[in-house]
Amino acid sequence: MIMKLWSAAAVALALSTAAPALAQSAATGAAAPLAAYRINPGDELDIFVWGEERLQRTVRVLPDGTFSFPLVGKVDALNALPSEIEARITKGLESQYRTAVPQVTVSVKTPSGLQFSVLGKVRSPGSFTPGRYVNVIEALSFAGGPTEFAQLGNVVIIRKTQTGSQAIRVRLSDLMKGSTGDLSGESIPQVRGGDTVIVP
């Protein structure tokens, strides 16, 4: 019971100590900039071509990171910014207009593709859709935190890439003991959509 309480307290301590360091500019009165959202498979997008009701669509990005759009065909959306998708659709429509293509607007209706899984020695393993970017420590908190015998010095993030799967090893044992010497993006990486965090 004491170990369980320690684990929960360690997660809370790690989160409370990591947050200020990851937002260092907050001390100067400026908020740390948030990463721009990039499209994931499973995301739902609203697409509007101004003045063209026939070209207004809500689309879901397929598992291969693409979707189809009238008069354009297949659009590659994987890891793209909404503005980049706007440019791709505009370019695809150019042949349909004698003058400039009307304004194209792409917005993320539901970021449901930003989903990750946590497996292994955690209290509530499973898949999670946070609706925002999280780092590996926050991912563990979604899963209830590590169990008593979790090996936090050897946490692994399995990430899907275009060339296969990549294993990212993360050492959290010192941080969970209260050490805040290294709070860089490399020591506490961000979890991406489709990642699987394994706690041995």
Contacts of 127 (CB under 8 A, 6+ apart): 115, 116, 117
Find which of 28-32, 126-130, 176-180 is predicted with most confidence, using mean pLDDT: 126-130
pLDDT tens readout for residues 111-166: 888 899 999 999 999 999 998 889 999 999 999 999 999 999 999 999 987 788 89
Specify the pTM: 0.70
Contacts of 99 (CB under 8 A, 6+ apart): none
Residue 18 banded pLDDT, cuts 50, 70, 90: very low
CA gap 82, 107 in Å, rounded:
6
Take residue 94 and report the two structure tokens written for it.
Answer: 């150019």
Q: Report helix, strand or coil for 196.
A: strand
Take residue 166 and report the two structure tokens written for it.
Answer: 């990549």
Contacts of 97 (CB under 8 A, 6+ apart): none
Mean pLDDT of all residues belonging to the chain: 84
